[in-house]
Amino acid sequence: MTVMYGRNEDRTVVRMNADAEFHLFPLLKSSAITGSFSILFVVFVTHMQNVYLYILCMSTLLNLDFMSSKIFAKKVYTGNSVLENQSIYVENGRIAGIQPCSALPIAAPQVDHICPGFLDIQVNGGAHFHFTSKPDEACLRDIDEACIHAGTAFVLPTMITASFDHILRGIQAIQTYKLNNPFTSILGMHLEGPFLNPVKRGAHLIKYIQKPNRQTIEELLSIENGVIRQMTVAPEVFEDGDLQLLLDSGIAIAAGHSNATYEEAVKAFDAGISQVTHLYNAMSPFLHRASGLVGATFNKAEVFAPLVLDGKHCSFSAAAVAYKIKKEKLFLISDALFLGREKKDFVWEEFDAKLIDDAYVNSDGNLAGAAISLADAVRNAVQILGLSIREAVEMATIRPAMAVGLSDQIGKLEIGYPARFTIFDDRLENFKVLTVD
């Protein structure tokens, strides 16, 4: 059995055996879990001939029945509805049933709000390491742990424009990491580049941006081995027919870092591109005589549009406009350069970034990535945009899952879906990942 909790201070990990991993977190007074208590807790664990000592001094531990296969929730966000006072039954890591419960069960864990695990399809780094600069298992573990810590249950680590050798290393690292860590939050890769428009490259290094052609596309598809779940391209830089190779590959293709005209963008959407990358950012803007990629996105009701809802990548008023237009096709991403705001500055080759006013900015003054988590974006959607909790949750769960073609596997709290949840309190202050296996 595996039980994991995320987003709080002072995490302690207790590894009991190869099949069980308990992440115990101190909870604030506003904890969504009832029955917490403080204790001096000393654990000796022998594993693989190594002895580990874990000490929790005056930590607030969770009063949970770890062998229970039932969870009681005051509010359950299923992906298409909100249920109140429900018991969720889990068998073999899957949701086995959801039933109304009139009285609080004594033995079952109790939470205020529970929803499908948050899915962030654009995360560049963890607390300490950046995936493009360090495409290895250590970085993936850092991203994995930082996402769990922030309440994000599923993630696509993002590799920005880099050499093919670098991209291959990232693909191989994800393959190996997923094989060695079956409970990981990492689903695959978001490859942001290298077929971008140099005019809208943003912080991407121009030396690695490539003009797409059939040979390089076929080479990329031959090495990705199902790891690349999403790819960002500038559709206007492709020759006729070459873009179709990517669209036919099964990878979710998004238009981004693009200077496409309105007509070029509509043509790309009609060909099969079904989403954009970070709406408003690094794309041709909406002007009254040239409505660009933004205008085409607004005018195509079926196109998904993710927002970085930090007030930096776009104003909250611009986000409100997008919400009114895109409706259920609008969803949230973090686009975090690093999570947790511990990393203050960063350099990789000619790419540089500093944390300034709660966003990462390069030496040219361009945004180089966000500092928020997906949970921060959800909170902003409710508290600043005035959305309902239900809609904000769906913008972090079912909608991104639909955008990348994974809604038959994750994004819903329904029978048969994985028992990997995000739980949170009434004040939207504490977000945690709960996994029952």
* Residue type at position 374: L
Which residues are known catalytic residues?
335
pLDDT at 372: 98
Of the pLDDT bands very low, low, confident and very high (cuts 50, 70, 90), residue 107 is low
Over range 335-363, report the average pLDDT. 95
Token pair belonging to 99: 């039933």
Query: What are the residue ranges of helices labelled H in 248-383?
Result: 262-271, 292-299, 316-326, 374-383
The 10s digit of each residue's pLDDT in 213-240 is 999 999 999 999 999 999 999 999 999 8
pLDDT at 106: 62
Distance, CA of 76 to CA of 371 (rounded, Å): 29
The 10s digit of each residue's pLDDT in 280-319 is 999 999 999 999 999 999 999 999 999 999 999 999 999 9
The 10s digit of each residue's pLDDT in 355-412 is 999 999 999 888 899 999 999 999 999 999 999 999 999 999 999 999 999 999 999 9
**Domain boundaries in the chain?**
118-410
DSSP 8-state symbol, 241: T
Q: What share of the chain is helix, strand, coil (3-state, %, to 5)?
A: 25, 30, 45
Of the pLDDT bands very low, low, confident and very high (cuts 50, 70, 90), residue 437 is confident
Provide the CB-side half-sphere exposure for 143 (13 A, CA).
Answer: 37
Q: Taking the model in full, what pTM does it have?
A: 0.86
CATH topology of domain 118-410: TIM Barrel (3.20.20)
Q: What mean pLDDT is reported for the chain?
A: 86
Number of helices (H) and strands (E) in the chain: give both, helices first.
Answer: 10, 22
71 pLDDT more than 60:
yes
Q: Cβ–Cβ contacts within 10 Å for residue 249, how many?
A: 17
pLDDT at 127: 97
